[in-house]
Amino acid sequence: MTRVHVFVRGRVQGVGYRAWTADEAAARGLTGFVRNRRDGSVEALLVGDETSVRAMIGAMRSGPPMARVDAIEEDTPASEVLRLAGDGRFEMLPTA
């Protein structure tokens, strides 16, 4: 099981990026969450098999049609981030 904490920067709010991420992640069988950040970025926790997580990160580099991704930062999730992962599905969380 691979767990990657991702921060996406660019024009990623107000363009459907969160909903697109939730749909794409669920279609790939991933669990975790996605949420907007007050700084204008999007944060996601991707949990699943290595191949699916890596494919999702690759897809996130483009995102939905109106998005513009300038950078993606990956990190190992801390325990408090893992607690937000919910009940085994992919969720959209409130802005943090």
For the annotated catalytic residues, the residue numbers are 18, 36
Determine the Cα–Cα distance for residues 47 and 88; give it in Å rounded to an integer: 9
d(CA 53, CA 51): 6
The answer to whether the Cα torsion of 59, 44, 74, 37 is positive or negative is positive
